[in-house]
Amino acid sequence: MCGIVAYIGQKEAYPILIKGLKRLEYRGYDSAGIALLDQGELKIYKKQGKVAILEEFAADKNCEGKVGIGHTRWATHGLPNDTNSHPHFSENKDIALIHNGIIENYNVLKEELEHRGHKFISETDTEVLVHLIDDIRKREKVSLAEAVRMALLSVTGAYAIVVISKDNPNQLVAARKSSPLVVGIGKENEYYLASDATPIVEYTKQVVYLNDEEIAVVDLNEGFKIVHLSNQEKTPYVQQLEMNLEALEKGGFEHFMLKEIFEQPRSIHDCFRGRLNVEQGWVSLGGLKEYEQKLVNAERIVMVACGTSWHACLVGEYLIEDLARINVEVEYASEFRYRNPIIGEDDIVIAVSQSGETADTLAALELAKSKGATILGICNVVGSSISRITDAGSYTHAGPEIGVASTKAFTAQVTILTLLTLFLAHKKGTISQSAFQSMLCDLEAIPDQVKRILENDPKIKEISAIYKDVRNALYLGRGSSFPVALEGALKLKEISYIHAEGYPAAEMKHGPIALIDEEMPVVVIATKGTSYEKVVSNIQEVKARKGRIIAIVTEGDRQVKELADHVIEIPETNQYLVPLLATIPLQLLSYHISVMRGCNVDQPRNLAKSVTVE
């Protein structure tokens, strides 16, 4: 949601903060701001809009200081304007604070503080928190860290915060609950704090991921310590970051999204590397070892997720039910958490999430855990909250995904779910040895087949040019290609602002068919497989109403070619693996249309990469 970065040490803080904010901008880009402490003076510079606007604004200012905090905002409370931007000052401007999350009881706290004479200038919940910390510090005459702890005890909600104070020039205090925060331990008595490791990796690989309700105090004289909200001191668990800088750069591509689409041959391969062996005929997900038997014996599996990750779960549902014969229920995490679901100790709940931080998915897992279920995670971001609260899980190993529109994370999630299906089906004997073996072979061939689809990009770009000005689009698919249709429609909506709907192809005649006329492009996944002939009939129905068809077909297809206005061929594969291939042209189609419409591909309006608030 919002991005946090902070530095304290021997170097000038400003360049580190600005660079860090640029790396975190995918988390929110409504406004950006920094606070710097220099020779006893605490100064804040903040502007509505992107980090570049803040940089321009700060260009002629004296942005000096070896300690500072920075924030990039995705607005929740209050409009995205300069005043509501972070950092926020306390009453006498002694303390400044940045915050990611929501203080749910901010109104009650605000009223109490107003009674005590506090004046607020913004509409944010964050400003209330910094006033509260300052108020406690002065009233109780306690240290900054203790004031932060006491203030957080009266807060309901989610937060990752960093606090800087005039009176403690050698110290930063940070805390987290339900919003991520990482501490980087630098080489020369210096510390970095950030929402994720991306602003830190350039300087150090030694990191500590804070746990919920932990407060980190980094002090140039006294070092680094962690205290729990209950006032118990904790031993920091220092981890080695496995991330490289190149993964965070565009690497010659115009946009992160395009880079990430083109990375898929590698990311899919990385995802199954070491987890399958065609010669020896096995599949194994090491992270799930301890729960293998429970999974094999499961009567049902519940999957919770949001957005694109939810679409991946739907693909998983088709695969697991059909091949492993286990009942699967796929739930929107946001609905699941509030509808008193029937979950018990025998249930396995799997959360799928790129970021591993999505608030609804986390809450759904917590609920399932409280009801005694086994909770598993499929995440991309190593060390993320979901990966830490789950009993076990599998990382997708897709590498950092910076573009807000999820691409390589989706195909990696589908790859993991395919591996899980194959593992379960093999163990349960619900797949024949020859079908298992041939699917392993086909899965191993997917990265090269994705490469071949990517070579077709110029043709997809030409088709995009024809449809770039449409106002609506329909995406149709059957079986496991139905979630692919949903995903294709979501990609188009979120980055090009064209209204698009995904439908099971056969459902079209129950309503959406009324929308079809010569203006309406209909993207159909019509690859070879059990429902091919039925999809061909659906295409006929669209043609009869003068709809324009863009069909994703299997190489060499002739029947659909005759009906469709455009065809995009994908290599032949096992029908269960089609989602891994059919998704690629849809990603490219959305990408090109978005660029041609002049939209901000990597940072679409109103969106943020990880949704850490409800």
Residues near ligand M6R (CB under 6 A): 306-309, 353-355, 358, 361, 404-406, 494, 607, 610-611
For residue 268 the two structure tokens come to 């899919």
**Amino acid letter, residue 517:** D
Those residues whose C-beta lies under 8 Å from the C-beta of residue 288, and which sit 6 or more positions away, are: 295, 376, 392, 393, 394, 420
- Of 404 and 446, nearer to ligand M6R (C-beta) is 404
Name the residue nearer to ligand M6R (CB basis): 31 or 308: 308
Q: What are phi and psi of 125, to 5 degrees?
A: -75, -30
Instruction: State yes or no: is 271 an active-site residue.
Output: no
Q: How far is the CB of 306 from ligand M6R (least distance, A)?
A: 4
Measured from the CB atom, is 109 or 303 closer to ligand M6R?
303
* Residue in the block written with tokens 């598993």: 376
**Which is nearest to 4 in space by CA: 30, 24, 31, 29?**
24
Taking the CA of residue 92 as centre, how many other CA atoms within 13 Å lie in the half-sphere pointing to its CB? 9
Could you say which DSSP state residue 570 is in? E
Indicate which residue of 2, 63, 271, 379 is catalytic. Answer: 2
Cα distance between residue 307 and residue 565, in whole Å:
30
Work out how close the CB of 400 gets to ligand M6R at its nearest, in angstroms, rounded to a whole number: 12
Q: In this complex, which beta carbon is closest to ligand M6R, that of residue 126 or of residue 407?
A: 407
Q: Cβ 378 to ligand M6R, closest distance in Å?
A: 10
Residues 128/106, Cβ–Cβ less than 8 Å = yes
Q: Tokens representing 360?
A: 């609804």
Beta bridge partners of 472: 499
Contact (CB, 8 A) for 552 and 523: yes
Nearer to ligand M6R, 172 or 586 (CB): 586
Of the residues 110, 177, 491, 609, which is catalytic?
609
Residue nearest to ligand M6R (CB): 307
Bridge pairing between strands 521-526 and 548-554: parallel
- For 303-324, letters b (16+ CB in 10 Å) and e give bbbbbbbbbbbbbbbbbbebbb
Q: Based on CB atoms, which residue is closest to ligand M6R, 106 or 209?
A: 209
Of the two residues 43 and 609, which places its CB atom closer to ligand M6R in the complex?
A: 609
Strands 206-209 and 182-185: antiparallel
In the 8-state DSSP scheme, what is residue 94? S
Nearer to ligand M6R by Cβ, of 374 and 406: the residue is 406
The minimum distance between CB 309 and ligand M6R, in angstroms, equals 4
Q: How far apart are CA 301 and CA 349, in angstroms?
A: 6
- What minimum distance in Å lies between the beta carbon of 379 and ligand M6R? 8
Q: Compute the CA torsion angle 162, 84, 403, 568 (nearest 10 deg).
A: 160
**543 annotated active-site:** no
Task: Find the shortest distance in angstroms from Cβ 404 to ligand M6R.
Answer: 5
- Which lies closer to ligand M6R via its Cβ, residue 553 or residue 589? 589
Between 152 and 365, CB nearer to ligand M6R:
365
What distances in angstroms separate CA 17 from CA 14, 25, 54, 128, one per listed residue? 5, 12, 11, 24
Whether the upstream peptide bond of residue 87 has omega within 30° of 0, thus cis, is yes
The contacts of residue 91 (CB under 8 Å, 6+ apart) are 118, 119, 131, 134, 135
CA distances from 292 to 53, 224, 285, 298, 572 (A): 51, 39, 9, 10, 32
**Euclidean distance between CA atoms 242 and 84, whole angstroms:** 35
Does residue 447 have a cis bond before it (omega within 30 degrees)?
Answer: no
CB of 221 to ligand M6R, least distance (A): 39
Sequence letter at residue 183:
V
Least distance in Å: CB of 287 to ligand M6R? 18
Q: State phi, psi for 159 to the nearest 5 degrees.
A: -155, 145
Q: Which of residues 442 and 494 has its CB atom nearest to ligand M6R in the complex?
A: 494
What is the Cα–Cα distance from 281 to 437, expressed in whole angstroms?
6
Helical axes 433-455 vs 408-428, angle rounded to 10° = 170
Return the SS3 of 408: helix
The phi, psi pair for 298, rounded to 5°, reads -60, 140
Q: Which is nearer to ligand M6R, 264 or 610 (CB)?
A: 610
Q: Within 10 A of 152 (CB to CB), how many other CB atoms are there?
A: 21
Q: How many CB atoms lie within 10 A of CB 478?
A: 22
Compute the C-alpha angle 575/580/584, nearest 5°. 125
Number of alpha helices (DSSP H) and beta strands (DSSP E) in the chain: 19, 27
Q: How far is the CB of 610 from ligand M6R (least distance, A)?
A: 5
Contact of 103 with 148, CB cutoff 8 Å: no
User: Which residues are annotated as catalytic?
Assistant: 2, 609
